[in-house]
Chains A and B, each alone.
Chain A
Amino acid sequence: MNWMACELHTHTFHSDGGQSLEELAAGAKALGFDCIALTDHNTMSGLWNKEAVEQQTGMNIIQGMEWTTFFGHMVTLGVKDYIDWRPVGPGDIHAGLARVHEHGGIAGMAHPFRPGSPMCTGCYWEFELRDWNELDYIEVWSTTFAPLKNNNARAFRLWTDKLNEGFRIAATSGRDWHRQEQTDEPLSVTYLLMEEHGGSITDKAVAALSAGRASVTLGPRLDLGVHFGGQLYGIGDAVPEGPSPDHTIELQAAADFEARKEHWELPEQIYTLRFHSNLGMVSELPYAADSKGCNVTLSREGLRWVRAELWGTIRGIRTMIAFTNPIYFDEPGGVITLNDYTISTDHGTQRLYGYAR
């Protein structure tokens, strides 16, 4: 499998964008992306020359559409034909989600907390979701310099809350890219871990995101693994039940500072790597750009999910720089006890957080 740098939320002049698909794809290429999803508002006509643009620019293009409704914006990926958003009322989003899934697609909340009508019509999510299992992902980082924005922080909290409630929902970034314009603000990338086979990029992206194989960043690509029972599990995987509920696991995380490195800038620093879970932060370690990665050994007891986060300073502001989607644990909750740990970074000592409930 391959990590592909994706921009999952874009528009052309087929809706309210100020760019052609060629200009968008060439712009994405120049920024080091492997893949874009075209998600025009309520139309798929912008995809008519997709193959030609892919050949001309070398960019992979995922078929998508942004449901731009009165009650929320919902990005859909992988639906081959238009699905009608117009009959869907604020209580009917499950009918819409079912149709997206029937057609082989997936759906995510777009910028769920952006102030809505009449400032930005339908931009705030008001649909009633009765079963969060039906939602495939949440766009938690919208627009540029995303982690600094209050709306995004709120979306990120919503995602964490839903993970804590036991839902397995993915999280992505999306620039909501409407035109080719220079910006000094850091850009987000959603890396998707895609299978290598002859299928379409749309199918591969849908498979990757629906399996939660996604990692989001302003810079280096962050990876996460869990060693358990002689097996290595990756982002999006669920670790099966163990022989005992307190069986030991090893978490490992690494940030690839080579990924797209010409396209982002971070000052030299010691970063902070956090393992965050349903039990809160389970470990926090210093992390250097030249590190090979770091490991933590702990009991899996009580763990339902864990993700990695990279924190540091960018443009003089301390913030989250990258986060992975979770690795899940197929076991009911309980108590976590830290019984052992090891660190393989060269920098300082780690702080451990023990939980006894």
Chain B
Amino acid sequence: MNTLLVNVQGAVTPECSKTHIAYRFFLAKSGGRMKIDFSYSPKNLEDHARARTLIEQGLDRYIEDELREQAKSKWQSYLPLKNLITLSVDDPSGHRGAAHRHDPEQHLFISGLESSPGLSKGALQAGMWTVTLSLHAIVTDDCRYSLQIWHEEDHG
């Protein structure tokens, strides 16, 4: 039997950069396999004028005075600016890893014997689980994400 545990769509803005969104949910039965479908869009900031402003603001902070103009002249080397949301998983007794990568569409799973890269395999334990979305950077005015978490009870 497949149970849909979390089904959520959300919208975030640049102000949400450097925040976490945690979904805490109850897994009623131990065992089986957890399937996590996660996506967000858009990935890239296509507005290059906006990107240039953000890059120049960044270089003002990160580059020493005497090298700043030279760095700014190469602002295009930082294109495209990207949204980055990563996903991590905690079970009732501890951490089960993270999928820290740039793919804006991820189909992850975790089970007793197998798991997606970044997550650690091991029998699923009934109780409160947490899936955390870490918003490392949101550079587009609007970014939509979608998260579905399933429990596949009969799946090894």
Binding site for B on A (CB under 8 A): 12-16, 40-46, 48, 68, 70-71, 82, 84, 86, 113-119, 121-122, 124, 150, 154
Contact = CB atoms under 8 A, between A and B. Distances in A.
Contacts of B20: 86
A43 B97 contact: yes
B132 A86 contact: yes
Contacts of A12: 117
A119 B55 contact: yes
Contact of A68 (B61, B95, B100, B121): B100
Highest count of chain A CB atoms <10 Å: which of B18, B61, B139: B18
B102 A13 contact: no
A15 B100 contact: yes
Contacts of A122: 136
Nearest to B120: A45
A117 B101 contact: no
Contacts of A119: 55, 58, 78, 81
Interface of A is mostly: loop
Interface string B70-96: 010000001001101010100000110
Q: Which of A40, A84, A121, A154 has the most CB of B within 10 A?
A: A121
Contact of B18 (A40, A46, A70, A84): A70
B62 A121 contact: no
Nearest to A90: B18
A113 B63 CA distance: 8
Interface in B79-129: 81-82, 84, 86, 88, 94-95, 97-102, 115, 117-121
5 contacts: A15-B98, A15-B101, A41-B98, A44-B120, A118-B139
Contacts of A46: 117-118
Contact of B102 (A16, A44, A68, A154): A16
A115 B98 contact: no
Contacts of A41: 86, 98, 100
Contact of A86 (B67, B101, B117, B134): B134
A70 B54 CA distance: 17
